[in-house]
Amino acid sequence: MSALGTLLGWILTLFIIVMIVRGILDWVAMASRSLGVMRARRVTHALTEPVIAPVRRVMRPVRMGSIGIDLAFSVVFIAAVILRAVVWSL
């Protein structure tokens, strides 16, 4: 694997970790309004939202009654995992 491929693989791995932390913090933030949780949540959103926002514009949230399910997060997460697997296999 080339140095560029290795670097891209590590960047994608870090992005996936930040996505996982974002998902966890979104759930924790519903139960706790701690200042530390809110700061960490802002950081994870700042790092991931530039990738998720364009997908969200194409895929609107699915409405189930009064609840909206954001599928853009799942699509970006799965795409990052697949892309990382492809990059690591090169």
What's the pLDDT tens digit per position in 2-55? 888 889 999 999 999 999 999 999 888 888 878 888 899 999 999 999 999 999
**pLDDT for the residue 18:** 97
Residue 80 pLDDT greater than 90, yes or no: yes
Band the pLDDT of 88: cuts 50, 70, 90. confident
Cβ–Cβ under 8 Å, residues 59 and 71: yes
Nearest to 51 by CA among 28, 18, 24: 18
pTM: 0.87
Chain length of the chain: 90
Cβ–Cβ under 8 Å, residues 39 and 64: no
Cβ–Cβ under 8 Å, residues 22 and 48: yes
Band the pLDDT of 66: cuts 50, 70, 90. confident
**pLDDT for the residue 25:** 92
**pLDDT for the residue 1:** 65
